[in-house]
């Protein structure tokens, strides 16, 4: 018996066909992984299933019952739940309030005690380790995600759609999350799980459906699958994802950080230099001062202790714009809020951060022709796939958004590039592509600070690696001088072990 049957789904956006006759059959009680490159049509298909978008044609059945023109509310009533990547929680409210609120129709009284009991019981059943009365604002990203899952389960969801839930989680959180999926499956839930990580897919999936360019390639049993084969199905040909980091002579210091206090209670401050033609990687679980480091270097938050200089110039007191004018390209970790204006066109997004440059704006007037030309060149060079320059940046697939940002920040000859979580949410091909770009920039002599929660990124790209833990650098060495095990131990805070 199928929990979900989607047949020949077609969905167009203007002249672009995002879903081009997709069929997806999900069995009751299975974990079904949905794979595909950025832009393959996964989120579109799930938004259709959940009633957020309407398909142009094709049939949908939920538990054997045909559904048409359904709203998300109707989908919820049929036992469907969706966990979005952007959480929809109220920080000032407690866990149980977030779970229960919005559910009771107006005028109903909420029985506080009973609600807390019910929410706690559900949390315990799936080993969520949440306290129903804790305020949501105090929770880590991973814990907030559990609240989102709890919301769907509390509302009676039997079929749960999760669109890239692991993209925001640290490696240990991912492990716990996969355990939760298994617990939910054991409890009879049906799960549709979207991820770009083949390792996660192979660890939990019962069956896997691969999409490519808006079509379903095939559905296979996970037991018979290998990462190589899946990658091939996603991309459409054999993939070679090896990357080489040839020797590169480093030049003079471009960025110098001295005695910076990242977290108020850090045991010590951090200091390092990054030189021309060098990639300096910051390894560690997010939340250990990465965000503070990023924001202090860019002048987005004040640094109360320590000094930052770029090319010998003290920038500690300068604002973001002045710093950028010294030649800093910035790839922010928060792509949607810091790097792009989602509802603006690609052309306008290209201009972001360059609005003070004479090349594009003169006497306060935007030189549209010049912007268009430069943006067009960038889109070709960096392989940004879009319907046209007028498309809103927010409707590009994640990979294409990131290529746009990286391309924009690498143009106009920066001396220093601050690359934060540059491959988050990207498919394997796009990751490879961004890696190549970063290595190319290194070869051109740019100094690159790479902050990434992905250890493979750090290891493949960095000349030197520093491990950040609770706001402190536990060790900084040449890449070759670390073993993988040592980095793992340091990331977990075991400084004595190495």
Ligand X SMILES: Nc1ncnc2c1ncn2[C@@H]1O[C@H](COP(=O)(O)OP(=O)(O)OP(=O)(O)O)[C@@H](O)[C@H]1O
CB of 14 to ligand X, least distance (A): 7
The answer for residues whose C-beta is within 8 angstroms of residue 14's C-beta and 6 or more apart is 387
CB of 146 to Mg ion, least distance (A): 21
Among 41-49, 284-292, 465-473, 481-489, which window interacts with ligand X (CB under 6 A)?
41-49
- State the CB neighbour count (10 A cutoff) for residue 95: 28
Among 39-47, 62-70, 233-241, 479-487, which window interacts with ligand X (CB under 6 A)?
39-47
Please choose, from the candidates 393, 363, 356, the residue with its C-alpha nearest in 3D space to the C-alpha of residue 378: 393
282, two tokens: 């910051």
Please report whether residue 85 would count as binding ligand X according to CB under 6 A: no
Restricting to residues 377-416, name those near ligand X by CB under 6 A: 395-399
According to DSSP, the residues that pair with 6 across neighbouring strands are: 24, 60
How far apart, in whole angstroms, are the C-alpha atoms of residue 492 and residue 378? 40
SS3 13: strand
CB of 40 to ligand X, least distance (A): 4
Restricting to residues 434-453, name those near Mg ion by CB under 5 A: none
CB of 35 to ligand X, least distance (A): 9
Backbone angles phi, psi at 192, to 5 degrees: -110, 120
74-77-80 Cα angle (round to 5): 90
- Could you tell me how many residues of this chain bind ligand X (CB under 6 A)? 16
Please report whether residue 422 would count as binding ligand X according to CB under 6 A: no
Restricting to residues 17-36, name those near ligand X by CB under 6 A: 18, 36
Helices (H), 236-367: 290-297, 320-325, 346-351
Restricting to residues 118-157, name those near ligand X by CB under 6 A: none
173 within 8 A of 149, measured Cβ to Cβ: no
Please report whether residue 43 would count as binding Mg ion according to CB under 5 A: yes
* Cβ closest to Mg ion, residue 85 vs residue 120: 85
* Cβ closest to ligand X, residue 201 vs residue 290: 201
Backbone angles phi, psi at 217, to 5 degrees: -80, -55
CB of 401 to ligand X, least distance (A): 8
* Cβ closest to Mg ion, residue 43 vs residue 288: 43
According to DSSP, the residues that pair with 207 across neighbouring strands are: 32, 221
Please report whether residue 42 would count as binding ligand X according to CB under 6 A: yes
According to DSSP, the residues that pair with 329 across neighbouring strands are: 417
Please report whether residue 43 would count as binding ligand X according to CB under 6 A: yes
* Cβ closest to Mg ion, residue 53 vs residue 118: 53
* Cβ closest to ligand X, residue 40 vs residue 150: 40
How far apart, in whole angstroms, are the C-alpha atoms of residue 293 and residue 270? 9
Q: Which residues bind ligand X (CB under 6 A)?
A: 13, 16, 18, 36, 38-44, 395-399
Q: Which residues bind Mg ion (CB under 5 A)?
A: 43
């Amino acid at each position: 018996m199928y929990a979900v049957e989607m047949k020949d789904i077609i969905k167009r956006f203007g002249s672009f066909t995002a879903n081009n006759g997709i069929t997806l059959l999900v069995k009751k009680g299975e974990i079904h992984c949905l794979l595909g490159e950025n832009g393959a049509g996964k989120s579109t298909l799930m938004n259709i299933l959940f009633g957020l978008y309407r398909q142009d044609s094709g049939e949908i059945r939920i538990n054997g019952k045909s559904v048409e023109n359904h709203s998300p509310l109707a989908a919820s009533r049929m036992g469907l739940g969706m966990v979005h990547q952007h959480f929809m929680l109220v920080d000032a409210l407690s866990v149980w309030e977030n779970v229960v609120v919005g559910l009771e129709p107006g005028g109903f009284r909420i029985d506080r005690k009973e609600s807390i009991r019910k929410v706690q019981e559900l949390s315990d059943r799936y080993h969520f380790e949440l306290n129903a009365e804790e305020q949501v604002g105090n929770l880590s990203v991973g814990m907030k995600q559990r609240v989102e899952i709890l919301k769907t389960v509390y509302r009676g969801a039997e079929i749960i759609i999760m669109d890239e839930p692991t993209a925001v989680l640290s490696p240990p959180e991912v492990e716990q999350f996969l355990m939760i999926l298994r617990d939910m499956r054991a409890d009879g839930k049906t799960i549709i799980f979207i991820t770009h990580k083949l390792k996660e897919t192979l660890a939990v999936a019962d069956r896997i459906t691969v999409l490519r360019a808006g079509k379903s390639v095939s559905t296979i049993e996970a037991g018979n699958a290998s990462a190589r084969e899946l990658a091939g199905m996603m991309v459409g040909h054999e993939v070679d994802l090896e990357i080489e980091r040839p020797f590169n002579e480093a030049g003079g210091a471009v960025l110098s950080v001295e005695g910076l206090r990242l977290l108020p209670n850090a045991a010590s401050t951090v200091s390092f230099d990054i030189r021309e033609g060098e990639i300096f990687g910051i390894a560690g679980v997010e939340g250990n001062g990465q965000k503070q480091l990023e924001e202090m270097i860019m002048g987005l938050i004040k640094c109360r202790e320590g000094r930052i200089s770029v090319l010998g110039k003290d920038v500690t007191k300068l604002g973001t714009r002045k710093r950028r004018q010294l030649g800093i390209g910035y790839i922010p970790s928060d792509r949607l809020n810091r790097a792009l204006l989602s509802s603006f066109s690609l052309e306008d997004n290209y201009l972001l951060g360059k609005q003070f440059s004479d090349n594009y704006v003169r006497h306060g007037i935007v030189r549209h022709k010049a912007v268009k030309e430069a943006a067009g060149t960038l889109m070709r060079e960096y392989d940004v796939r879009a319907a046209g320059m007028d498309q809103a940046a927010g409707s590009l697939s994640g990979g294409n958004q990131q290529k746009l940002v990286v391309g924009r920040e690498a143009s106009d000859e920066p001396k220093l590039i601050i690359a934060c979580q540059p491959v988050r949410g990207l498919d394997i091909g796009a990751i490879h592509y961004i890696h190549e770009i970063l290595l190319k920039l290194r070869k051109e002599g740019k100094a690159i600070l790479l902050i990434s929660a992905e250890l493979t990124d750090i290891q493949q790209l960095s000349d030197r690696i520093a491990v950040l833990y609770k706001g402190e650098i536990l060790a900084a060495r040449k890449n070759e001088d670390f073993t993988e095990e040592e980095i793992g131990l340091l990331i977990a805070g075991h400084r004595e072990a190495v």
